[in-house]
Amino acid sequence: MSEAGTSAQDIIERYAIDHTKRFGEGGYGATFAALDRKTNEKCVVKVIDTRKMKVALIKKECQFLEYVRGHQNIIDIRDHTLGVGRHSHLYFIFMECASGGELFDQLTTHNGPVPEEVTKGFMVGLINAIAHCHAMGVAHRDIKLENVLLNSVGEVKLIDFGLSHQYYRDPNTGVVDRSRPIEGFCGSKSYAAPEVLVGRGYDGFDADMWSLGVCIFGLLMGFFPVDEAKASDWRYVRLVSAQKEAKSTTKAILEWYKRTPKHISPEAVDLLDQLLRIDASARPSIGTVLQHPWITGTKLEVASSGWSSEELHYRGSGVQKSFDLVDDMEIMDDAPVYRSLGAFPGDDEPLPEMPTLARQAAFGGQESAFGDIFAL
């Protein structure tokens, strides 16, 4: 960070912005390549139009980034300031460069589901980032594959704290007070927890755990567990029923499409079953996740998991197929979509349609194209 007393002009002059190298854009701004002239280090700058987003909200995100900075799996903020002169309507946030793309891109790289060991490597970084945030009393509230970047060596970087919530954290003991529920709702459609979507008070840490589960499921399976965790989605209704019957969540979802989870380990299934619980209070804390066998590399005790390997095989129509059906999925750069899945040989009924797997904007904002943001 710049020294205290550094002016906006000093910050702007310190960095060279490459307007031709744009990494992404949203409804409020865009991200460009930049260079720290003082250290000759490559970085990026997020440029936000203050006529579309209040400065107070932008500064709030910067404050969160400054508060949780210092962790290797969270994007590092370098400087931030309101622009000067003809750019006085723009806000500039300079951050470390993570040029390896979004974690979402791994679905394209692997042409479908990502191998378990590769997924685990990414998720360990994300889980550690979430653990740091929760220890600091911060609920991210928009955990998704699009908000996880990779740097040049494949290291995970959690980004976008614009929707984050700060719980009171005792400065002496470090104890976080979560007794007061968060009101209102925010997040991204297919990643948002059920309790968030109903618009009642909820716990931000518990909601982050559901979103983490969606991320892991999405990478391992190549599609979302539900399109949206509310009653209007038939998948969610079926999932509520399956959990009431104490069935494995992962197995139940895959059975809808006549698939099995035998391409992944029992430990991965068990963790997904815990994270994707409808009852928010039944989900594990991030500390518990860090100690889960899938993360520690130990074997799951079957007696504690509630299922056996034999129970993971699909029973019905005499057909057993693994989840090696990448040809059923066509991934496009901007929005992965599923083509006709058809039925397995000998089946009379077509398979139900899977949830769309596409990049998602956080709800509460409106996306729009920006064109040349510096010309506004």
18-37 per-position pLDDT tens digit? 989 988 776 688 999 999 99
pLDDT at 329 over 80: no
Angle (CA) 341 346 347, round 5°? 55
Give pLDDT, residue 248: 97
Give pLDDT, residue 243: 98
Give the DSSP letter of residue 325. Answer: -
- The residue ranges of every structural domain in the chain are 15-97, 103-338
Q: Phi/psi at 9 (nearest 5 deg)?
A: -60, -40
**Among 246, 336, 229, 250, CA closest to 282:** 246
**If you average pLDDT over every residue of the chain, what do you get?**
84
> Burial, 324: exposed, middle or buried (Cβ in 10 Å; 0-12, 13-18, 19+)?
exposed
The pair of structure tokens assigned to 153 is 């060596």
pLDDT digits (tens, 9 = 90+) for 205-223: 999 999 999 999 999 999 9
Query: For residues 364 and 189, what is the distance between their CA atoms, to the nearest angstrom?
Result: 11
Give pLDDT, residue 309: 40
CA distances from 291 to 104, 122, 186, 203, 353 (A): 25, 16, 29, 21, 36
The more confidently predicted of residues 326 and 275 is 275
**Among 60, 323, 23, CA closest to 146:** 23
Query: For residues 284 and 206, what is the distance between their CA atoms, to the nearest angstrom?
Result: 8
348 is annotated as an active-site residue: no
CA distances from 136 to 166, 169, 253, 331 (A): 8, 7, 34, 37
pLDDT digits (tens, 9 = 90+) for 170-209: 999 999 999 999 988 788 889 999 999 998 899 999 999 9
Task: Kindly state the average pLDDT of the residues 237-245.
Answer: 97
Do residues 206 and 280 touch, judged by C-beta distance below 8 A? yes
Query: For residues 108 and 96, what is the distance between their CA atoms, to the nearest angstrom?
Result: 25
Which position among 76, 79, 142, 206 bears the catalytic label? 142
Give pLDDT, residue 200: 84
Give pLDDT, residue 53: 92
Give pLDDT, residue 27: 67
Q: What is the pTM of this model?
A: 0.83
Angle (CA) 249 150 217, round 5°? 5
Query: For residues 168 and 138, what is the distance between their CA atoms, to the nearest angstrom?
Result: 9
pLDDT at 371 over 50: no
pLDDT at 373 over 50: no
Domain made up of 103-338: CATH architecture: Orthogonal Bundle (1.10)
**Domain covering 15-97 in this structure, CATH number:** 3.30.200.20
Query: For residues 253 and 256, what is the distance between their CA atoms, to the nearest angstrom?
Result: 5
Confidence class for position 347, pLDDT limits 50, 70, 90? very low
Confidence class for position 332, pLDDT limits 50, 70, 90? very low
